Structure 1
Amino acid sequence: MLAEIESLLVLQDRDQRILKLEADLKRIPIDQERAKERLANDLESVAKAKLAVQENEVAIKNIELDIGTRKATLTRLKTQQYETKKNDEFTALGNEIERYNEQIDDYETQELELMEKADELRALQKKAEDALAITQGMVDEEIASLGSQLEENNKRLAEVKAERAKLAENIDDDQLSLYDRLMKSKGGDAIVSAEKSQCSGCHMKLVPATMISVQSEKEVTQCENCGRILYL
């Protein structure tokens, strides 16, 4: 193998590492955001559960106010009935007292039902909060792990870039320029194998003249189809 090709292959190895590290560095913040998004459903469930508990508590307080108002009215009606001397008024007040007693009974029944519902709603809230705590722990751990990866990848990227710079210093300018152009245009594969008379980059069959040039190892040879540098 040509010494120039060997040097370029080592350089390509570093460049491919750089590309992978840079791709990972772009991906990690996205993964962190996705991890946070996993909390969204659990947070929404907790919020809904809390709201249901609060609305139920408000409903209980409203019923308690209604009961209190009617009991006060009932006390007043009983006093009026006790003080009246008229039979028709006594009867009318008695009917009102009965109606208010029925209303109070209905409200007290509703209050008991809401109190039972309150226990169920609080249990659902506790369940939602427990699920959130588990998810939060997992997400926190994942975000911390991704943060460590981010730090390590940044460090490694700086090291590989430094290695790459030193390697590039020892490569002919024209060959380096050709290589750099191919790296950009060919998605990170500037130098590829010509095994079985086929370019492993574009997968096209190589003409005999190209294969003879590669096998002679006298000069850098490019694929006549895609332009990639070839080696055996």
Structure 2
Amino acid sequence: MTTFRTTRDETAEVCPLDILGLELRGFLCHSMLCDESASRSDVTDRTNLAVTHMCPPIRSDRFRCHVVSHLSITERERRKIQRFVDRFRKEMEANAKKQELLKTEPNYLIHPERVPPSADNPLWAFSCVGFVVSAYRNGRIVILADQRPLKTLAELKQLYPDRVEELDDPASRSAMLPEGGDSWPVALVGYLFNAFDRTDEEVRSVPFKPELGDEHFPSRRLEKHSD
């Protein structure tokens, strides 16, 4: 297992179904699954890679990435993860017309990381992390524990700088945080990459239990403990 940052000067290898991360203003803000048909050994921080990710809705795109996590998976695990991705991609395409009939565009989901279909939305909803975690769970690989640090609304505005306006709007906020409340155990993007920055055995046997500081990669957990 390995997690690393891409750079401009050195090339790295990225494999299908690796987890890719985007960074904004020093914070990991978006996670994606590599959708390349084969491994690539020419990847830098300027390489556009084929990805599947939750925007919403689930989309296939090309993106650069700043952080990569790779776990050596078996062929059986690969098929199960890919089956999950293909299923929801096809579901999205089949329900595209229904989505067009909705009064509003699907909202970004922060917590919980997955929500089943409803009368208002015919599709499963995922956060970007929820989509990745659910795909790997379909391969019997449980990445994150349910116990996570609670984040207040003020903290979420710092962690999602591109979503501040939506978080300030009550209607948009209730769509992104449909369970209500004043603090939430959000599955943050940084948790994914710290979860995979362990041995293969640890990743497979012990779901990662995040602590304060793990929203960053590398983790700033020690910095938080020393404050």
TM-score (norm 1): 0.21
Higher helix share: 1
Higher strand share: 2
TM-score (norm 2): 0.21
| Larger CA Rg, structure 1 vs 2 | 1
- The higher-RCO structure (CA 8 Å, 6+ apart) is 1
